[in-house]
Amino acid sequence: MTKRWKMAVGAILGVALLAGTGAAVVTAREQGPGGPGGMMGRRGGPGGRGGAGGILPGLRALDLTDAQREQVKATMDAHKATVDAQRDKLVAAHKALNEAVTAGTFDEATVRQKAADLAVIDADGAVLRAKVYSEVWALLTPEQQTRAKTLQAQRIERAGQMRERFETRRGQRGSRGERKPRPQGE
């Protein structure tokens, strides 16, 4: 095989793997920690157990007043139907892309169209998240906003450290040496 052919096959397999993984992740997120039909992850309102925690993680650590909690809940409730519809569209788009990628016959136009459809839906979701985020953010005092930024920076740093540990472990596994095939007759 030529180098170009190998790169094309590798790219196609990579896209298929990403699409399948994406669909699985979206499905798992939709089902929540309690599995299909489970109630965990859906308790506490539209944002799950933590309320608007998906929009602004760490909200509980900001010591919201009762009035702020009610305002956040009202904001999330106002967007619940839109957020749910957006999530359903995203799940369907991931599924459609995965089906196109894993179809028995390769159809580049279909895969590209499904990927483009997913990109549009994902962009719509980002706009919706930004809108809800800004509405919740406006409810916070300047001190709470500063604290939220600090918590976000800490979360990003921890995620980077976890990624580094994972890469280190993955590298160590590879450096242990590959198993050598046994000679015939043993």
The CA distance from 56 to 152, in Å, is 9
Segment 73-122, tens digit of pLDDT: 999 999 999 999 999 999 999 999 999 999 999 999 999 999 999 999 99
The two tokens of residue 84 are 């749910």
Model confidence pTM above 0.75: no
Task: Write the CB contacts of 56 (distance below 8 Å, at least 6 apart in sequence).
Answer: 133, 136, 137, 148
Spell out the domain ranges in the chain: 3-34+41-140
Q: How crowded is the C-beta side of 168, counted as CA atoms within 13 Å?
A: 6
Which 3 state secondary structure label does DSSP give 186?
A: coil
Q: What are phi and psi of 22, to 5 degrees?
A: -60, -45
Segment 15-60, tens digit of pLDDT: 444 445 554 544 555 544 444 444 334 334 444 434 444 667 678 8
- DSSP class of 1: -
